[in-house]
A = this chain, B = another copy of it.
Amino acid sequence: MTPSTNRQILLVEKPTGKLSPQHFRLVESAVPEPKDGEVLVRVRYISLDAANRAWMQGATYRSAVEANTVMAGGAVAEVIAAKAPGFAPGDLVFGDTGWQDYAAVPARQLVKVPRVEPMTHLLSVYGIAGLTAYFGLLRIGRPQPGETVVVSAAAGSVGSFVGQIARIKGCRVVGIAGGRAKCDWLVSELGFDAAVDYKSEPVFKALKAAAPQGIDVYFDNVGGDIFEACLPQMNLRGRIACCGAVSAYDGAPPSSGPRGVPGLIVVKRLTVQGFIVTDFNDERDAAIADLETWVKDGRIKVQEDIVDGLENTPRALIGLLAGENRGKRMVRV
Residues on A lying within 8 angstroms of B by beta carbon are: 54, 60-61, 220, 223, 227-228, 240, 242-245, 248, 253-276, 279
Checking B243, B270, B273 against A270 with a beta-carbon cut-off of 8 angstroms, the contacting residue is: B273
Cα–Cα, bound, A274→B254 (Å) = 24
By CB atoms of chain B within 10 A, which of A61, A227, A267, A269 has the most? A267
18 A-B contacts (beta carbon < 8 Å): A54-B267, A61-B269, A223-B261, A223-B263, A227-B261, A242-B266, A243-B266, A245-B262, A245-B266, A253-B263, A256-B257, A257-B257, A257-B261, A258-B261, A265-B272, A268-B274, A271-B273, A273-B273
Contact status A266-B274, CB under 8 Å: yes
Contact status B254-A257, CB under 8 Å: no
- In the complex, given contacts A253-B259, A257-B261, what are 8 additional A-B residue pairs having Cβ atoms less than 8 angstroms apart? A61-B269, A223-B262, A223-B263, A227-B261, A257-B258, A267-B274, A269-B273, A269-B279
Copies in the complex: 2
Decide yes or no: A265 and B242 within 8 Å by CB, A271-B273, A274-B270 being known contacts.
Answer: yes
Neighbouring B residues of A254 by C-beta, 8 Å? 259
Neighbouring B residues of A240 by C-beta, 8 Å? 262
Contact status B257-A242, CB under 8 Å: no
CB distance from A273 to the nearest CB of B (A): 5
Which residue on B lies nearest to A231, using beta carbons?
B257
Neighbouring B residues of A274 by C-beta, 8 Å? 262, 264-271
CB distance from A38 to the nearest CB of B (A): 29
Neighbouring B residues of A261 by C-beta, 8 Å? 223, 227, 257-258, 261
Neighbouring B residues of A220 by C-beta, 8 Å? 262
Cα–Cα, bound, A209→B220 (Å) = 33
Contact status B257-A260, CB under 8 Å: yes
Cα–Cα, bound, A218→B229 (Å) = 26
List 5 A-B pairs, minimum CB-CB distance, nearest first.
Answer: A256-B256, A257-B261, A257-B257, A265-B274, A266-B274
Cα–Cα, bound, A140→B184 (Å) = 41
CB distance from A233 to the nearest CB of B (A): 14
Cα–Cα, bound, A257→B256 (Å) = 6
Neighbouring B residues of A263 by C-beta, 8 Å? 223, 245, 248, 253
Cα–Cα, bound, A279→B269 (Å) = 9
Neighbouring B residues of A244 by C-beta, 8 Å? 266
CB distance from A22 to the nearest CB of B (A): 25
Contact status B259-A242, CB under 8 Å: no
CB distance from A226 to the nearest CB of B (A): 11
